[in-house]
Homo-oligomer: A and B are copies of this chain.
């Protein structure tokens, strides 16, 4: 078998973001951690880490991490069947990647009951809509919520439902830029708020209006910050209907073009042999997510 002490050292350095914290977590000296990683590199005959701050896994390193993640999930099941004492005797923790808008809306309601029932701890990693799968492939997470329907090798996919996005702005903003309607000229002048450079939502909305030109924009990679900028009248932007029921009801935010929605399908990716807890989480999401998401389409 592989020497899991070496693999655990690699995983700790990546997960803790450095050798010093990895050493703290493992209860080792920093040089011991460094030795183990070097020994691992000697065994596999290739670098496993790029020594940046924070360190990054090489492609070989990512394959090893992927393996470690899957072994850990299997160990969790084993430990429920065969209770073992030891250093590793921690409550269960699942590392999940998800898009910021899911975390800002339906996720907590879907998983809270399970988390309390199983004393399950989540380590949530926030990723852009379309890139969460990278972590899944790299073995850094046990599951992933994203917009891609294509499973990675060794994993399964469950369709969760559609997240409905509305193009909204404050009434003052609409009066300033769109008093004469959402015309091509107005769209060129009015600043948008965009979540990140990978965000295609506003392009999908604009192409529905036959607008393909340039537009000004603020970049704001935070769901809560996004709504704050919208409410302060700094731009228009695409927001999940689920995130702003209060603002829509009070009129603090209004649709630019009522009914011109963008629906984004969401999928749950999970390892096929991920163990009982991951299967329980999958069952919980299968049961709850679609109703929670549908509440945004009323």
Contacts and interface: CB of A to CB of B under 8 A. Distances in A.
B126 A225 contact: yes
A234 B197 contact: no
Contacts of A121: 191, 216-218
Contact of A124 (B105, B125, B222): B222
Interface string A238-270: 000001000000000000000000000000000
Nearest to A243: B224
Contacts of A123: 218-219
A122 interface: yes
A218 B125 CA distance: 11
Contacts of A223: 222-225
A222 B191 CA distance: 25
Chain A interface size, as a band, is 35 or more
Given A21-B197, A231-B108, A234-B112, A125 B221 contact: yes
Q: Per DSSP, are chain A's interface residues mostly helix, strand or loop, or mixed?
A: mixed
A116 interface: yes
Interface string A201-217: 00000000000000011
A225 B109 contact: no
Contacts of A229: 108, 112
Contacts of A104: 222, 224-225, 228
A251 to B, nearest CB: 17
B197 A16 contact: yes
A81 interface: no
A239 B52 CA distance: 32
Contacts of A109: 228, 232
A17 interface: yes
A217 B90 CA distance: 11
A159 interface: no
Contacts of A221: 124-126
A107 B225 contact: yes
A233 interface: yes
Interface in A120-143: 121-126
Contacts of A162: none
A232 B105 CA distance: 11
A133 B6 CA distance: 33
A24 to B, nearest CB: 11
A86 interface: no
A249 B108 CA distance: 21
A29 interface: no
Interface of A: 16-17, 21, 50, 52, 56, 91, 100, 103-105, 107-109, 111-112, 115-116, 119, 121-126, 191, 197, 216-225, 228-229, 231-234, 243
The 4 closest A-B pairs by CB, nearest first: A103-B225, A112-B232, A108-B228, A224-B224
